[in-house]
Structure 1
Amino acid sequence: MKQVDDVLERQLTVGEAIRTRRSIGRVKQEEVPREYIENMIEAATWAPCHFNTQPWRFIAMTGDGRKLLGDGYGKVMMAENPQLLGEELAERLQKEEQKAMRAPVVIAAICSPSDDPRALIEEELAATHAAVQNMLLQAHELGLATIWRSGDATYHEAMRSHFQLTDRESIVGFIYVGYSDLPEKVSTRKPVEAVMSWADESK
């Protein structure tokens, strides 16, 4: 774990990580150390969750393993375009499969709800989303670039079936991970006054 330890010596504060993290959609194909990915997943598992259900699981795809996602995109495309045949179908399949190759690592984040009768599905999903945010922040601290991709294909039944999800499971996104191949991004947010109000008896 030396590579992780070396990076952690330059730790960001939580506030710095939150404010400086950006979604980066273009990364180099440079290999990412396996321990960095494991470190990201460990951070994800510390997300808050009701009743400590820990309703998540993750699939890290690298190298040829990314074909798992590429084939999933292909199956969604075929389900939505059953009229395609021959060369046109082959071209579309190749295009869809390449979507999974845009980063050296892609992590499927899956909400796997608990059987605890107290656990609401809405809260299980919220916990899994929080886990993904933890993962993104940890990646940023490690000097990695990420983007959380979703969209219609993520939730399509063909994708669910391809990833062999149970009836209660759902994919909440695909996290693309690598080293940035873009200039540093500057972003802004609405001022606090625009998004909050006080409910204060003393006022």
Structure 2
Amino acid sequence: MIFDLIKKRRSVFPAQYIDKAIDKETIEKILEAANWAPTHKKTEPWRFKVLTGDKKQELGIFLSNKYEEVDPNPKQMKIKKLQFNPSNSGAVIAICMQRDPKESLPEWEEIAAVSMAVQNMWLCCAELGIGSYWSSPGLIKYMDEFFDLAAGEKCLGFFYMGYFDGELIPSARTPICEKVEWLD
């Protein structure tokens, strides 16, 4: 049931991933789920760049080098994490948004559509037993130096994915009644 799957979805971080590849067909299935997200005016603004193999390590090196370049006081622990997260993942998907060239709707609606696409990916991963995590480091503003981004395209973060061992701790939420106002 979809409600159970929604409640089961968790952030699973790269440190929890095991050394097991995610095959291309599985990644394609996850991306196909993204493609069915709602999209106002059918702009379908989501764009994805899938990194596997050596490209994951290249991303980690780029991020750590860029961090050292732009931060006056770089921390060794963060440098290592920027390199580790991509390399320890089964795959990394750069989450990008292609702005409607006509700007026929507000940018926030395009970002919301991409976010819904990522939620579809996250739910698909949960169903397939793949851990995933959306990271949006400040360094994403430099991703046009790593990727060949089209005009109007921007990177919104990275979707780290990997198989993991063990059980996930159930999450808790405050009751919805504390977040809803009924107006009659």
Q: Which residue does 2:143 correspond to in 1?
A: 159
2:6 is matched with 18
In structure 1, the residue matched to 2:109 is 123
Deviations 1:168-201 (A, max 9, x none): 322122111111234321110010111111122x
Tell me how far 1:94 sits from its aligned partner: 6.3
Greater C-alpha radius of gyration:
1
Query: SS where residue 197 of structure 1 aligns?
Result: coil
Sequence identity percentage = 33
Please say if residues 56 and 113 of structure 1, whose CA atoms lie closer than 8 Å, have aligned partners that are also in contact. no
CA displacement at 1:97 relative to structure 2: 2.7
- For structure 1, which segment, 69-78 or 13-22, has the greater mean C-alpha deviation from structure 2 after superposition? 69-78
Please, which of 113, 121, 129 is the counterpart of residue 143 of structure 1?
Answer: 129
Superimposed CA distance per residue, residues 14-56 of structure 1 (whole angstroms, 9 cap, x where no aligned partner): 1111011111111112011211110110000111111000001
Aligned residues: 182
Pick aligned residue for 1:191 from 172, 175, 181: 175
* Distance change (3 Å), C-alpha of 1:184 and 1:111: same
Distance 1:66 1:149 in 2: 15
Report the CA distance shift for 1:161/1:194 in structure 2 as closer, same or farther (over 3 A). Answer: same
Equivalence for 2:153: 169
Distance (whole Å) between structure 2 residues aligned to residue 175 and residue 83 of structure 1? 27
Flag structure 2 segments of 5+ consecutive residues without an equivalent. Answer: none
CA distance 1:119–1:76, change in 2 (3 Å): same
Instruction: Kindly report structure 1 stretches of 4+ aligned residues shifted beyond 3 Å.
Output: 81-84, 91-96
- Alignment correspondent of 1:34: 24
TM-score between both structures, scaled by the size of structure 2 = 0.87
| Residue identity matched to 1:17 | L
Q: Which residue identity lines up with residue 108 of structure 1 in the other structure?
A: A
Mind listing any 5+ residue stretches in structure 1 that lack a counterpart? 1-12
Task: State the Cα distance separating 1:76 from its structure 2 match.
Answer: 1.9
CA distance in 2, matches of 1:72, 1:45: 28
The answer to whether the 8 Å contact 2:49/2:93 transfers is yes
